[in-house]
Amino acid sequence: MSSSPKPRILTGDTPTGKLHLGHYVGSVENRLALQNGYDCYFLIANKHAFTTRADKPAEIRQSVIDIATDYLAAGIDPNKATMFIQSEVPAIDELTFFFAMLVPFNRVMRNPTLKDEIRDKELGENYPFGFPLYAVGQVADILAFRPVMVPVGEDQLPHLEMTREIARRFNQLYCGVDPHTQDEDYLMAGGLFPVIEPKLGRVRRLVGIGPPGPNGELLKMSKSLNNAIFLSDDADTVKKKVMGMYTDPRRIRATDPGTVEDNPLWIFHETFNPDRNWVAQQQEAYRQGKVGDVLIKGRLVEILNALLEPIRQRRKAYESRPDDVLDVLRQGTRRANAVAEETLALAKQAMKQDYFRRTLSMS
């Protein structure tokens, strides 16, 4: 597998719940396109889920299965892409320990994504030691696969920046790479780890279907804000959610002029409706109070259900064969271990800690 001619990419998800439309346009869509041209590794970060939910192991286990099922249903092809479970790839943990020596503790704590999480999840001072450690763990998730590219959402960019810093440092310290080397030249200069590039999705953050926040700001779609449409929602649920969705609060009657800008209903059409002319025409009519929310919502229901229907069909097939999902993860984890073990051996060699050889076996 490691001799595959296709360039390798890696990305991952923390299993915190089912995938929704925000994930779809932010990353799933990207992965569906990339799985044909790249050797794709999709990591399920179950250890990261323990940073804030160590007391809920059963939920984490269920989320791992849910997220794998969601991806398969969405069209990730297990013959093209490799889905795997983080905690069954020990090389990642071993690299984490070594990488943790290459970054100042204060630098980790300045990571804006960690700061945001501490604020949003109200962790205060009570987060575990493993919480900041996960950021270094994510560096190891990535570098264990020496990928050419890492598709992520915007919120992950600080982790990717730290990945680039640690890759440079490792290559300079242990592979003799000159610190003045350009990022794209690190491998050519003898480095083991590429200074990776992030790749953002088509839509950076999709708005939710609920009301705006306390300052009138649009809120992103999120399970915890209860404003999400899930890939696993059935057709009726999608209809109910869309028909009840927040639009322009100042518009009482369909004959009132409506606002298109910052209106979630139109953001959804702009994101999902392939018929750009229809959207432009109806937006004009909406502005003039010539078309009501109900018609525009009705069309959105049709569009979303057309997108989700094939996903529902594939999901049904997997739900009737739950062992198949675990088998996909088993095969994927085996392939992931082959790559990560190779990376770890090379890293140990560079660090002069290659005392013995070993092989890993999985049942």
Applying CB under 6 A, the residues found at the interface with ligand TRP are: 10-14, 43, 45, 48, 138, 141-142, 150, 152, 156
Residue among 107 and 316 whose Cβ is closer to ligand TRP:
107
- Number of other residues whose CB lies within 10 A of the CB of residue 282: 20
- For ligand TRP, give the closer residue by CB, 153 or 191: 153
Query: Of 228, 192, 201, nearest to 304 (Cα)?
Result: 228
CA distance 109 to 39: 33
In the complex, least distance from residue 224 CB atom to ligand TRP, rounded to whole angstroms: 13
CB of 271 to ligand TRP, least distance (A): 20
Min dist. Cβ of residue 207 to ligand TRP (A):
19
Partners of 152 in beta bridges:
200
CA–CA gap between residue 155 and residue 157 (Å, rounded): 6
Beta carbon of residue 160, minimum distance to ligand TRP (angstroms, whole number)? 8
Compare residues 81 and 279 and give the one whose CB is closer to ligand TRP: 81
d(CA 321, CA 120): 37
Residue 352 CB, shortest distance to ligand TRP, in Å, is 28
Pick the closer one to ligand TRP by CB: 143 or 209: 143
* Nearer to ligand TRP among residue 158 and residue 298 (C-beta): 158
Helix axis angle, 90-99 to 130-143, nearest 10°: 110
- Is there a contact between 304 and 234 (Cβ–Cβ < 8 Å)? no
- Distance separating alpha carbons of residues 280 and 273, to the nearest angstrom: 11
Q: According to DSSP H, which parts of 18-129 are helical?
A: 21-23, 29-37, 46-53, 57-74, 90-99, 105-109, 112-120
Shortest distance (Å) from residue 150 CB to ligand TRP: 6
Which residue lies nearer to ligand TRP by CB, 151 or 210? 151
Cβ-closest residue to ligand TRP? 12
